[in-house]
Amino acid sequence: MGRSRKMSRTTLEVLGAFMDDPQQERHGYELMKATEIKAGSMYPILQRLEDDGMVEASWEDIDPAAEGRPRRRYYRVTGLGQAVFAQEIKVMSSRLRGLIPGIA
Amino acid sequence: MTALLGGLGVLGLGLVALVSLEVAPLCAWLAPRIARRAACRLPSKHREIREEEWLAMLATMDGLKVIRMFTACGFYVSTFALLKMPSVRAAQEADRAAAAGVDVRNRFAQSFRLFLLTSVKNAEAGDQIKLSIERSDGSVEEITGDSISLSPGALGEGDKVFLDGQPVKVDPNETFGIQFMSAQQDGQPRRRRRAKRARRPGGIEGC
């Protein structure tokens, strides 16, 4: 749970993709389309977020034989993820305020 | 001249179309295989999850088949980063330990411990084991024995190695080497065999 390392821009983008509707579950392909992050980067990011408790994953409730495809794995942002995202945005905003005078 | 260029253009387009027709089924065939191969690089705990997830994603994807193949290549690339993550490494270590019959209680172990576990896994019945330890003061200690095991020690306290049941204290800052002398090979060290095994740990079935 203790998150000590700095969050990268791409990680923040992935976390941000959940923020339109935090209750909505999303699968990897949806996240890739929303963030335009390639598969090579997406899965390490999702794994890291899952390890840090910022997203939780669950399997799609279908019968793979009936659907003719394997189950999707859905991700949903946790309360911790939302709090961390809000904190990161706050830090970025304060930095921007420092850089550009006149921004309230 | 213009007619010649036009003709060449049409011919070129025709060739591209022909190659595309051939490549598309190949990409469709190749993409899930690359995804499975990528999942095989991961420890068992993560392998099944990622394989199903990635195959589902390839089945969901719209667009050109060649893009699916590139995405599958992306999965393969992602395994390099995944394998560096503490949780994945711990699962990998647990796989190796399970194969070596060692109980690992400390999930987030140091790479030094990983090295020891891998070495223990390489021991075979009938091997004579030679430990070479370069101590902090520069002296080199060599000990031989018939069996090697590890204690599940706590992080930062140094790992305990047992040779023939006797503890050998090794600190992470000391250089430590293990050599296996095979009885079947007239006491010759089987270094080459060990190196080959180290590249493909786990012996994953179906991968």
Q: What is the pLDDT of residues A72-81, one digit of tens each?
A: 999 999 999 9
- Average of pLDDT values for B27-51? 93
Residues of B in contact with A68 (CB under 8 A): 59
Is there a contact between B158 and B171 (Cβ–Cβ < 8 Å)?
Answer: yes
> CA geometry: angle at B39 spanning A48 and A55, to 5°?
25
Which pair of structure tokens corresponds to residue B101? 């019959």
* Residue B74, min C-alpha distance to chain A (Å): 4
**Closest to B151 (Cα-Cα) out of B134, B168, B136, B137:** B168
- Average of pLDDT values for A52-63? 93
* Residue B175, min C-alpha distance to chain A (Å): 30
pLDDT of residue B135: 72
Of residues B133 and B37, more confidently modeled: B37
pLDDT of residue B2: 80
Which pair of structure tokens corresponds to residue A53? 């408790």
Contacts of B70 (CB under 8 A, 6+ apart): none
Of residues A83 and B62, more confidently modeled: A83
Contact B59 A60 (CB under 8 A): no
Contact A41 B78 (CB under 8 A): yes
pLDDT for B140 beyond 60: yes
Contact A47 B59 (CB under 8 A): no
Tell me chain A's radius of gyration from C-alpha atoms: 16
Query: Is residue B62 less than 8 Å (CB to CB) from chain A?
Result: no
Q: Is B134 helix (H, G, I), strand (E, B) or coil?
A: strand
pLDDT for A28 beyond 90: yes
pLDDT for A31 beyond 70: yes
Q: Say how far apart CA B134 and CA B146 lie, in whole Å.
A: 21
Is there a contact between B123 and B129 (Cβ–Cβ < 8 Å)?
Answer: yes
* Residue B75, min C-alpha distance to chain A (Å): 5
The pLDDT tens digits for A84-95 are 999 999 988 888
pLDDT band at B57 (very low <50, low <70, confident <90, very high): very high
- Average of pLDDT values for B75-80? 96
Query: Is residue B67 less than 8 Å (CB to CB) from chain A?
Result: no
CA A59 to chain centre: 17
Contact B81 A29 (CB under 8 A): no
- Average of pLDDT values for B65-72? 91
pLDDT band at B176 (very low <50, low <70, confident <90, very high): low
pLDDT of residue A50: 93
Write down the mean pLDDT value for chain B. 73
Interface A-B: count of C-beta contacts within 8 A: 65
pLDDT band at A10 (very low <50, low <70, confident <90, very high): very high
Burial of residue B142 (CB within 10 Å: 0-12, 13-18, 19+) is exposed
Buried residues in A72-81 as b, exposed as e (16+ CB within 10 A) = bbbbbbbebb
Is there a contact between B79 and B91 (Cβ–Cβ < 8 Å)?
Answer: no
**Closest to B91 (Cα-Cα) out of B11, B201, B12:** B201
Nearest to A29 among B61, B85, B88 (CB): B61
Of residues B62 and A88, more confidently modeled: A88
Is there a contact between B172 and B119 (Cβ–Cβ < 8 Å)?
Answer: no
pLDDT of residue B3: 81
Q: Say how far apart CA B191 and CA B182 lie, in whole Å.
A: 10
The ipTM of this complex is 0.86
pLDDT for B106 beyond 80: no
Nearest to B78 among A29, A40, A72 (CB): A40
β-bridge mates for residue B82, sequence order: none
- Average of pLDDT values for B101-108? 43
Is there a contact between A71 and A64 (Cβ–Cβ < 8 Å)?
Answer: yes
Name which of B57, B73, B84 to mutate to probe chain A: the one with the most chain A Cβ atoms within 10 A of its Cβ. Answer: B57
pLDDT for B164 beyond 50: yes
- DSSP-derived secondary structure letter, B187: T
Q: Say how far apart CA A60 and CA B33 lie, in whole Å.
A: 23
Q: What's phi and psi for A47, nearest 5 deg? A: -65, -45
